[in-house]
């Protein structure tokens, strides 16, 4: 079982969603296409950035499907671009895959196979299936042709095998400068598929690699490295996103020419989400330009960002699993992700009361100096979470927006003369105000009905509003970071001519509330655990917190726009 079981709530995987990959694997297993070999998959990130939620989809498919068929999954770093790759990314990727709940059979690196790949290149050279080309990158592009015109042969295409072998060995030995020569597969310059027009297999790059150091100065291209790495690992089903569909004939060609393990590439739809960009290059730009506070900024669609924001791995898995897999790219509503997160958070979040923008409420007829305790469920969805005693006293804080001196129509919360329920406590009726020199309300005075203890109506009289509160003498202060969408346009790439996706950044994606008042029990909050501030939203403790200063992040507000969209659609 690849899914960790250390979390206390089990999320059932959703098997009813159409997933053609599952059907294909099932068919291969039934027909014994790979004999009795186990289903073997791999998740192959390039360590050039942090994983994002699109990768979570690939991870759940690679690990999840192998697991369903009793198979195995490797984590393989596709590390063939030394200039862009770093150990920091290698570490974060492993951490994120584990956090999502998966563990790999083997940890592999394409760079582990550089020696084997080189030998296979020699084999292709000997067979006359590859050649060293001296054309420049520009010239190669000019010779490649277009979608409507065939390409032209390079003048170096018909070099003798011995000359090719000599030049390639010298490329490896470091005799030539970057960009001066490449190794190309000799396939078909007139192929309708441009990927088959003598694709480049190796380029010269005198660059230090994060693992192999300066051992190599020639590096294999993705198309040559990927399929062969799959084959070395006996990968049966190499799942990748649809943009690689045109590369499949090349993937097959190399494997057939070399006569090695017949891994097969299968493409599925890439995850796109509204209000989000899932491109490592663009996410890197946001980080490098300081538009966000690092890869794990809670507004980032990275797994580390979602984790810091308070999203749960179970909620993310249930979202990506619910998408299944198809062969058509689409765009998924961000609200759907939020909806499934709320479902999961609702099940496991510990409840607490917190007032973000406090307004003092004084109960004139409550005895001074007295504290009562009300017993409250820690999580009404989970009786095992137990109860706690919440202090109640004469001076409380309520949310500033829960009081209006002059209530607009349909405003049912507190206003002079109006009676409301304080959650789990008493009915109170406001009767007077204290204002400061500039006329802002600083204190509301009210009376309570002792017979309404527990928030129950003593005589069947109804109140239209229930409000949260904290006892003024029993609070801790905290900074609360209210996050909203990073982009204000559902398609961040949609910009007027000459514009940039950066123009679509939401200027209000972060609001900091400095002096929220929290129920004392929240002083025990732990990083990584979900909380619900009642009536306000889901929150989590940020790792920036210190003993002196707690910092909470809003994971999600309570209101569920997706549920509304669904309701509208159904209506
Ligand atoms: P990016 O364009 O963000 O750099 P990538 O595809 O180059 O992404 P890789 O590290 O090469 O990133 O991806 C590892 C695996 O994750 C690949 O199999 C890739 O197809 C898959 N993957 C990447 N992005 C998505 C996505 N948005 N939805 C589903 N799978 C994805
Ligand atoms: Mg890639």
Q: What is the dihedral of CA 309, 310, 312, 318, to 10 degrees?
A: -60
pLDDT at 204: 98
* Alpha-carbon gap, residue 441 to 404, rounded angstroms: 9
DSSP code at position 98 = H
Residue indicated by tokens 């390409």: 151
* Alpha-carbon gap, residue 164 to 121, rounded angstroms: 11
* Ligand nearest to the CA of residue 284, numbered in listed order: 1
Q: Which residues of the chain register pLDDT less than 70?
A: 1-16, 560-567, 570-571
**Cβ-Cβ contacts under 8 Å for 338 (sequence gap 6 or more):** 556, 560, 561, 562
Q: Are 512 and 479 in contact (CB under 8 A)?
A: yes
CB atoms within 10 A of CB 530: 23
CA of 55 to the centre of ligand 1 (A): 6
Residue indicated by tokens 């984590």: 75
Closest atom of ligand 1 to 283 CA is 3
- Residue 533's φ and ψ, nearest 5 degrees, are -85, 115
pLDDT at 9: 37
CA of 7 to the centre of ligand 1 (A): 27
Domains along the chain with CATH numbers: 20-113+225-341 (3.40.50.620), 131-219 (3.90.800.10), 354-468 (2.40.240.10)
* Ligand nearest to the CA of residue 77, numbered in listed order: 1
Question: Where are any strands of DSSP class E within 381-426?
Answer: 387-392, 395-399, 419-422
pLDDT at 17: 79
Residue bearing the CA closest to ligand 1, atom 3: 279
Closest atom of ligand 1 to 272 CA is 27
Closest CA to 129 of 225, 250, 239: 250
pLDDT at 564: 65
Closest atom of ligand 1 to 243 CA is 20
Residue bearing the CA closest to ligand 1, atom 10: 45
- HSE-CB for 82 with a 13 A CA cutoff: 20
DSSP code at position 197 = S
Mutation choice for ligand 1 from 49, 241, 246, CB with most ligand atoms inside 8 A: 241
Mutation choice for ligand 1 from 46, 48, 55, CB with most ligand atoms inside 8 A: 55
Residue bearing the CA closest to ligand 1, atom 23: 55
CA of 300 to the centre of ligand 1 (A): 16
Helices (H), 193-333: 222-232, 248-258, 280-288, 303-309, 313-323
CA of 341 to the centre of ligand 1 (A): 23
| Catalytic residue annotation | 46, 270, 280
* Ligand nearest to the CA of residue 48, numbered in listed order: 1
Name the β-bridge partners of 557.
Answer: 537
3-class SS at 252? Answer: helix
Residue bearing the CA closest to ligand 1, atom 17: 240
Q: 60-71: per-residue pLDDT in tens? A: 999 999 999 999
Residue 257: exposed, middle, or buried by beta-carbon count in 10 A (0-12, 13-18, 19+)?
Answer: middle
Q: Are 399 and 423 in contact (CB under 8 A)?
A: no
Residues having CB within 6 Å of any atom of ligand 1:
44-46, 54-55, 57-58, 78, 240-241, 270-271, 278-280
pLDDT at 7: 38
CA of 287 to the centre of ligand 2 (A): 19
pLDDT at 559: 82
Residue bearing the CA closest to ligand 1, atom 4: 280
Q: Are 422 and 463 in contact (CB under 8 A)?
A: no
Q: Are 47 and 7 in contact (CB under 8 A)?
A: no
CA of 242 to the centre of ligand 2 (A): 12
Residue indicated by tokens 């999600």: 556
For the chain, the farthest-separated pair of C-alpha atoms sits apart, in whole angstroms, at 102
Mutation choice for ligand 1 from 41, 58, 317, CB with most ligand atoms inside 8 A: 58
């Amino acid at each position: 079982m690849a899914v960790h079981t250390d979390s206390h709530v089990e999320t059932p995987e959703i098997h009813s969603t159409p997933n053609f990959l599952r059907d294909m694997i099932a068919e291969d297993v039934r027909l014994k296409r790979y004999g009795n070999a186990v289903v073997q998959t791999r998740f192959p990130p390039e360590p050039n950035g942090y994983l994002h939620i699109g990768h979570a989809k690939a991870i759940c498919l690679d690990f999840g499907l192998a697991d369903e068929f009793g198979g195995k999954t490797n984590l393989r770093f596709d590390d063939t671009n030394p200039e862009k790759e770093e150990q920091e990314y290698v570490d974060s990727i492993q951490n994120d895959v584990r956090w999502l709940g998966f563990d790999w059979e083997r940890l592999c690196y394409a760079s582990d196979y550089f020696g084997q790949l080189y030998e296979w290149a020699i084999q292709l050279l000997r067979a006359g299936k590859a050649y060293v080309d001296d054309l420049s990158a520009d010239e190669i592009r000019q010779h490649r042709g277009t979608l409507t015109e065939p390409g032209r042969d390079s003048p170096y295409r018909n070099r003798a095998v011995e000359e090719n072998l000599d030049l390639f060995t010298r490329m490896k030995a470091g005799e030539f400068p970057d960009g001066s020569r490449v190794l190309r597969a000799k396939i078909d310059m007139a192929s309708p598929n441009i990927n088959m027009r003598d694709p480049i297999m190796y380029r010269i790059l005198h660059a230090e690699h994060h693992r192999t150091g300066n051992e190599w100065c020639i590096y294999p291209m993705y198309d040559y490295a990927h399929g062969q790495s799959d084959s070395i690992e006996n990968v049966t089903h190499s799942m990748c996103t649809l943009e690689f569909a045109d590369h499949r004939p090349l993937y097959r060609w190399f494997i057939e020419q070399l006569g090695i393990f017949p891994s097969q590439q299968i493409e599925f739809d890439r995850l796109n989400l509204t209000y989000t960009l899932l491109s490592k290059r663009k996410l890197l730009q946001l980080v490098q330009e300081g538009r966000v506070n690092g890869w794990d900024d809670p507004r980032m669609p990275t797994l580390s960002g979602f984790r810091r924001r308070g999203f749960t791995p179970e909620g993310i898995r249930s979202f990506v699993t619910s998408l299944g897999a198809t062969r058509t790219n689409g765009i998924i509503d961000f609200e759907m992700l939020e909806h499934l997160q709320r479902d999961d958070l609702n099940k496991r979040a510990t409840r607490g009361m917190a007032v973000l923008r406090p307004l003092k409420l004084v109960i004139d007829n409550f005895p001074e100096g007295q504290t009562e305790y009300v017993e409250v469920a820690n999580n009404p969805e989970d009786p095992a979470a137990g109860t706690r005693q919440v202090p109640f006293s004469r001076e409380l804080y309520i949310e500033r927006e829960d009081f209006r001196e002059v209530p607009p129509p349909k405003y049912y919360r507190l206003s002079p003369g109006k009676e409301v329920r304080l959650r789990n406590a008493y009915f109170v009726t406001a009767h007077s105000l204290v204002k400061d020199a500039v006329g802002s309300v600083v204190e509301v005075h009210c009376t309570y009905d002792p017979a309404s203890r527990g928030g129950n109506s003593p005589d069947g009289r109804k109140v239209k509003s229930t409000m949260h509160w904290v006892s003024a003498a029993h609070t801790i202060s905290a900074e609360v970071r209210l996050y909203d969408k990073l982009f204000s346009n559902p398609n961040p790439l949609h910009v007027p001519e000459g514009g940039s996706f950066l123009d679509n950044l939401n200027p209000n994606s972060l609001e900091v509330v400095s002096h929220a008042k929290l129920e004392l029990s929240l002083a025990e909050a732990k990083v990584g655990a979900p909380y619900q501030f009642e009536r306000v939203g889901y929150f989590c403790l940020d790792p920036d917190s210190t003993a002196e200063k707690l910092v909470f992040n809003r994971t999600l507000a309570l209101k569920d726009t997706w549920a509304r969209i669904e309701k509208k659609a159904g209506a």
